[in-house]
Copies of this chain bind each other. A is one copy, B any other.
Amino acid sequence: MKRIILASAMMAVGIVAMAQQALWGIPQLKSPEVNADNTVTFRLLAPDAKEVKVTGDFLPTEKVRTDVGEFDMPGSATLTKGENGMWEFTTTSPLSPELYGYSFIVDGFRTVDPGNVFVIRDISTLTNVFLIEGDQADLYKVADVPHGTVSKVWYDSPQLGMKRRLTVYTPAGYETSGKRYPVLYLLHGMGGDENAWSELGRATQILDNLIAAGKAEPMIVVMPNGNAAMEAAPGESSLGFTQPTPNLPKTMDGSYESSFPEIVDFIDSNYRTKRDKGSRAIAGLSMGGYHSLHISKEYPDMYDYVGLFSAAIFPNKGVKSPIYDDMEGKLAVQFAKSPKLYWIAIGDKDFLYESNKEYRKLLDNKGFKYVYRESPDGHIWKNWRIYLSEFLPQLFK
C-alpha cells in the first residue's frame, strides 16, 4: 500500500475546504467580536465599497414614517474604513445580555455578515445573530444540562385538506421514563411557522435550562404551524424553495382555531400525554396569542393555562367565523370554569398595547381574573423570550 501518497490525499480533505474558503474570498476576520466589556465589534472586508452600515436591534430605534403610520424601526450605524479595505464599528457602550439580530448594508443593499454563519430567518429576511451572555440570556444558551428532543413531525389534517408539520419538544428522559407528561401548545405570530419558537424563540434552550434547574415541570411542548393554508415552513413543504411572503391567507379567519382539535388528537394519540384540563396549556405571541385566546374560549374544558404574549385580540372587521361569534358569552363560560392561569403580557411600546388595554378593561368589567405583566419595548422577540421564560415556571404546579 502506498501509504505516503494516501496520507497526502487524506490531508487534502481539509486543505480543499480551506482552499475553497481562501479562493472564495471569505475573509479570515472575527465578526462580530464580543469584547471583554460586552461592547461588540463588527467587521467587513469590502475594499471597493463606498459605505457600509450595520443595522440591528442592539441599536436605538428610529421613528420611520410610512403610508400606514409611524413605526419604531431598528436604527443603523456606519462602519469606518481602515487599512486594506477593512470596515469596522464598535458599539459605543456595552450591550446588555440578550440574543441580538443584525445585518450589514453595503452600498445600499442589505446582506448578511460573511464572517458569521449564524443566521435566523424571520419571515422573508435572513438576519445574523449573536448572544451577549448573563441574566435572562443565560437561559438562551445550550448549557451542560440534560437536553430534550426536538422533532419535526407531520400530522394529517382532513379538515385543512393536507399533511402538516409541527415541532415537538419532549423533555430529557421522555424516551425511557414510561411517564405521562403535561402539554403546552406554543403558537407563533404572523409570518412565522413551526420553526419560529425553537429558532428565534430559543424555546428549546429555555425549556432545557428551566427544567434542569427545577424551575419548570418536565413537559411536552407542541409548536404547530398556525397558517391554515400552509403545510410546513417555507422551503420544507411541497412548495419547494418558494420565497416566503409575510401575508398569508387563512391566518386569522377561524380556520386554524376550528382545526386545532386535530392537533390535540394527534398529540394525544402519538405521545404519552396527560389528558386532563389541568395538564394542558396554550400560549402564543401576536397572532399566536390571538389563536390562544380564541381556541381557549372555544374549548373551555381543554386548557387550564392560557398565555397571551403581545396578543392580537379582536377579529378583523368583516371576518366571519362561528369561532368569533358571541365572544363575551364564550369568555363568560371560560372564566366561570376558573382557569388556573390567564396570563396577559405586553410591552409598553407595542402597537397592540391599546387593544390589549381595551381587552383588559373588558375582563375587568366582567370580573374575569387574569394576571397582567407589562414590560418595556415593543412587538419584538426579546419580549417573547422573556415572557416564555416567566410563563413556563407557572405551569402545571
Contact = CB atoms under 8 A, between A and B. Distances in A.
A326 to B, nearest CB: 13
A252 B175 CA distance: 31
Nearest to A144: B238
A351 interface: yes
Interface in A223-253: 231-232, 234-238, 240-241, 243-244, 246-247, 252
Contacts of A50: 48
Interface stretch (A13-21, A293-301, A339-347, A383-391): A13-21
A336 interface: no
Contacts of A133: 240
Given A10-B252, A163-B147, A247-B14, A48 B351 contact: no
A126 B119 contact: yes
Given A141-B240, A243-B116, A351-B12, A17 B314 contact: no
Contacts of A379: 16
Contacts of A246: 14, 17-18, 21
Interface string A139-151: 0011110110111
Contacts of A165: 147
Given A49-B107, A270-B175, A10 B241 contact: no
A312 interface: yes
Interface stretch (A61-69, A90-98, A275-283, A366-374): A61-69
Interface in A241-290: 241, 243-244, 246-247, 252, 269-271, 286-287
Nearest to A44: B109
B154 A124 contact: no
A314 B7 contact: yes
A314 B1 contact: yes
A119 B64 CA distance: 30
Across the A-B interface, the 5 shortest Cβ-Cβ residue pairs? A17-B246, A48-B107, A147-B154, A151-B151, A7-B317
